[in-house]
A and B are shown apart, each in its own frame.
Chain A
Amino acid sequence: MEKLEFTLPACAAPASRGFTQSFALCGVVASGNLEVLVGAGAAASVCEISVTTSARGFAPIWQALLSEFAAQNPAGGTRIAINDMGATPAVVSLRLGQALCEYLGAER
């Protein structure tokens, strides 16, 4: 198991999208899957992400994937926690998008 922490620059979520809930949770910790928990973070300009993963040695790939996610989504001001059991990058991206959408109360 490996624990990784990231603090990434991100655009703040638009204030017009009122938070409908205190947290959003997507996915299940199962083989090739992960759960993503999104809640309020400390600073509006960054997205804090902590990852607990069963697969060791993939820190550079997490760094690349999460940086891209933070740069391309209104994830500023959120804190994201992930429990992963060997999900592929595509599944991780899907779950991140799903969880953020649900947290921001946006329509998919």
Chain B
Amino acid sequence: MNAALPGAFTPAPSFFEATARQRVQQLLDAGSWREFLPPPTLASSPHLAALDMPGAFDDGVIIGAGLLGAKAVLVAAQEGRFMGGAVGEIHGAKIVGLLRRALAEKPAAVLLLVDSGGVRLHEANAGLIAVSEIMRAVLAARAARIAVLALIGGSCGAFGGMAIVCSLCSAVLMSEEGRLGLSGPEVIETVMGFEEFDARDRALVWRVTGGKHRYLMGDSADLVEDSSAAFRQGVLDCLGSQDTAPATLASLRATQKGLRARMTRFSSCRDGSEVWAGLGISAPQDVPLLERDALIGLKKGLPA
């Protein structure tokens, strides 16, 4: 953006703290970003207006095209600070349109910078339909052998419908700060009670949904540091190794069998640390404080 003052200390930009617009700028090759439907092209959410609430010019998501390592990519980035990155009708339609465009343009990948609590409840059925349309569009893109990568490293993590969307992607990349889970911590506590899950215990929340746990469980293909540069490198590594072959019935059945076995194996666990002990980690209590590289090494040494 602006040139730093000479001699000024400039820390590596944090992905977690950046806005959606900053993340896109930092992730892509300099000057390559081209936004689709930039403000004020679109109207703000009519549903929020009906509820007498101000909307955002981009409805909380920006979409566009750019280059990453000179490879053409399409990108959608959710703004977690606007209504928790929740998916409304216009927000969802923008992501669906981007994924459909990928079918025609055949980019090297579609990158979804997810930062969302899920569906925007204010928009009710329109929001739910939007999320299901995103799911369908992700699967259509993957069926056309286009890699769809979910990058999770924002303050809202990826929950609800957007967690399902992430799980449908070709691969998920997370930072330790990122979280992935179907029901959010507060939802579990509200429905099942404080005894089941204490949503105020942030360390517990991260031990159950955080990037390190998801990486150890194999739900996240890679664990990256909290910087746009690290996510950028993660995407490049992933594009080099990504198998874009669409899922077959046999591969889906195998995945389903694996998930069922995992559920049985860890069904009695009450905490991420118990799961890590079950994976064969001798000092699970040390995992939350491990550096990223040490954790990668730890996972490589685990029994298969």
Please give the residue numbers on chain A whose beta carbons come within 8 Å of chain B beta carbons, in ascending order: 1, 22-23, 25, 28-30, 33, 35, 37, 39, 52-54, 81, 83-85, 107-108
The smallest C-beta distance from A107 to any residue of chain B, in angstroms, reads: 6
- CB contacts (< 8 Å) of B57 on chain A: these are 25, 35, 37, 81, 83
Asked if A23 contacts B38 (CB within 8 A), the reply is: yes
A-facing residues in B40-88 (Cβ within 8 Å): 40, 44, 49, 52-58, 79, 81-83
Asked if A52 contacts B54 (CB within 8 A), the reply is: yes
Q: Given that A23-B40, A37-B39 are contacting pairs, would A30 and B81 also be in contact in the complex, using a CB cutoff of 8 Å?
A: yes
Whether a CB of chain A sits under 8 angstroms from the CB of B21 is: yes
Alpha-carbon distance between A23 and B58 when the two chains are bound, in angstroms: 13
Taking A23-B40, A28-B81, A35-B56 as known contacts, 14 extra A-B pairs with beta carbons closer than 8 A to each other, sorted by chain A number, are: A1-B52, A23-B39, A25-B21, A28-B56, A29-B83, A33-B81, A37-B40, A37-B57, A52-B55, A81-B40, A81-B57, A83-B56, A83-B57, A107-B3
Q: Which of B21, B54, B56, B83 has a CB less than 8 Å from the CB of A54?
A: B54
Alpha-carbon distance between A84 and B19 when the two chains are bound, in angstroms: 17
**6 cross-chain pairs, A with B, having the tightest CB-CB distances, nearest first:** A28-B81, A1-B52, A30-B81, A29-B56, A83-B54, A52-B54
- CB contacts (< 8 Å) of A37 on chain B: these are 39-40, 57
**Most chain B CB inside 10 Å of its own CB: which residue of A28, A37, A39, A84:** A28
Q: How many A-B Cβ pairs are below 8 Å?
A: 49
The smallest C-beta distance from A83 to any residue of chain B, in angstroms, reads: 5
A-facing residues in B70-121 (Cβ within 8 Å): 79, 81-83
Q: Looking across the interface, which residue of chain A has its beta carbon closest to that of B19?
A: A28
- CB contacts (< 8 Å) of B40 on chain A: these are 23, 37, 39, 81
The smallest C-beta distance from A3 to any residue of chain B, in angstroms, reads: 9
Asked if A83 contacts B79 (CB within 8 A), the reply is: no
Asked if B2 contacts A108 (CB within 8 A), the reply is: yes
8 pairs, A vs B, C-beta closer than 8 Å: A25-B57, A28-B82, A35-B57, A52-B55, A81-B40, A81-B57, A83-B44, A83-B57
Asked if A29 contacts B82 (CB within 8 A), the reply is: yes
The smallest C-beta distance from A61 to any residue of chain B, in angstroms, reads: 17
The smallest C-beta distance from A26 to any residue of chain B, in angstroms, reads: 9
**Most chain B CB inside 10 Å of its own CB: which residue of A25, A37, A108:** A25
The smallest C-beta distance from A48 to any residue of chain B, in angstroms, reads: 13
- CB contacts (< 8 Å) of B81 on chain A: these are 28, 30, 33
The smallest C-beta distance from B54 to any residue of chain A, in angstroms, reads: 5
Q: Looking across the interface, which residue of chain B has its beta carbon closest to that of A84?
A: B54
The smallest C-beta distance from A102 to any residue of chain B, in angstroms, reads: 8
The smallest C-beta distance from A37 to any residue of chain B, in angstroms, reads: 5
The smallest C-beta distance from A53 to any residue of chain B, in angstroms, reads: 7
A-facing residues in B1-60 (Cβ within 8 Å): 2-3, 19, 21, 38-40, 44, 49, 52-58
- CB contacts (< 8 Å) of B53 on chain A: these are 1, 54
- CB contacts (< 8 Å) of B55 on chain A: these are 29, 52, 83
Asked if B2 contacts A53 (CB within 8 A), the reply is: no
